[in-house]
Structure formats: structure tokens, C-alpha cells
Structure 1
Amino acid sequence: MKFFAVLLPMRDEEKSVRFRPEHLAFLEQMRNAGHIYANGKFTDGSGGLVIYQTDSFEQCEAFVHQDPYVENGARTYEIHEWEAVWANPN
């Protein structure tokens, strides 16, 4: 499995408000299916970040295209494969 950092910059604030419930439901569904490792909004209101865990860039992009924010033009997206390095908890 690979990690992909997906930036979701704000495109249309009105649409972001309108499609937020669908977007959040989509994220929950994807987390429950094991496709999303983490997600969250930027506190400055500029957008958000989703960390997908998938087999390929193509699979990640297919998931991103299912996000109601992207489908409805509320957000644009930018995908970067991410070589995660985790801190040692000790």
C-alpha cells in the first residue's frame, strides 16, 4: 500500500458549505473501508487534506473523483505520493 496526500483547495465557498454533509459522509465511508488514513480541514479556511492509502495513484484519483466536493466543483485537488516517516513513540 502507498500513501497519497490529497490537497483540496477551496474553489467555491458556497458549494463547499452546500456539499459539506455529503463530503463528510463520503470521508467516513472511505475511512471505514480502510482507504483513508487521515483527513482534516485547514483552520484558515483555505481547504483541507486527505491522506489516502491505496495501491496506486490511479486508484487514489478514482476515489478523489467520487468526493462530492470534487464532483460538484466545490474544491480542486492536487495529489502527491507521500513516503511517510513515522515518529518513534519512545
Structure 2
Amino acid sequence: MKYYMLTYLLVDDYMDRRGDYRREHLELADDFYKKGLLLMGGALSRPTDKAVLIFRSEIVSAVESFVKEDPYVKNGLVESWDIREWSVVVGVV
């Protein structure tokens, strides 16, 4: 099984704007978590300029699917995003 790190670069007013889309975003994240694809995720703080989500999947398209469905992306709260395969060497695999 492969691991992927999805990184969002968030817009400056992310904290002010996320409320309208937060419930839908968290429901999407919970759906991917229940499917065993999303392991963990959240925004970085001080400053809240990025978010990181860790996925476990054989195919990167599962992560791409999350991005396409995410209301944060659809509604312009994410300035850009990046998916990187992550070679885990220590921890739960």
C-alpha cells in the first residue's frame, strides 16, 4: 500500500471563509476516512496557511478524487495543492 501527502496552500482569509463549507468538507473527509483512504488531516497553525492530509491507497487517483470533491477547493479557499507519494520508514504502515 502506498502513502500520499496532500498539501493545500490556503488563501489569506481562509479562517474567515471556511465556516460556510466546513461541514461539507468534514463530511467528505469522514467518508474517505471510513473507506480507509484518509488517515489524518488538518490545517497547520501559526500561521494557518497550509493544510496537510495523509492518504493510504494503491492509486493516486483516490487522492485526486478527494481534491475534486472538496468544497474548500471548489470555493477558492485553496490557492494551490500538491500530492506527493510518501515513503514511510517509521511508524504504522
Normalised to the residue count of structure 2, the TM-score between the two structures is: 0.80
Q: Distance in 1 between matches of 2:71 and 2:60?
A: 19
> Post-superposition, which runs of at least 4 consecutive aligned residues in structure 1 deviate over 6 A?
none
What is the CA deviation profile of residues 25-79 of structure 1, one whole-angstrom value per residue up to 9, with x for unaligned ones? Answer: 2111111111101112101211211001112222321222111111222113111
Note the aligned Cα RMSD (angstroms): 1.9
Normalised to the residue count of structure 1, the TM-score between the two structures is: 0.82
Percent of pairs identical after alignment? 26
Question: Which residue of structure 1 lines up, in the alignment, with residue 67 of structure 2?
Answer: 64
Deviation, structure 1 residue 4? 0.6
Go from structure 1 to structure 2 and tell me whether the alpha carbon gap of 1:49 and 1:68 turns closer, same or farther (over 3 Å shift). Answer: same
Alignment size in residue pairs: 88
Ranges in structure 1 where 5+ consecutive residues have no aligned partner: none
Question: Which residue of structure 2 lines up, in the alignment, with residue 82 of structure 1?
Answer: 86
Deviation, structure 1 residue 18? 2.0
Asked if 1:5 corresponds to 2:5, the answer is yes
More strand by share: 2
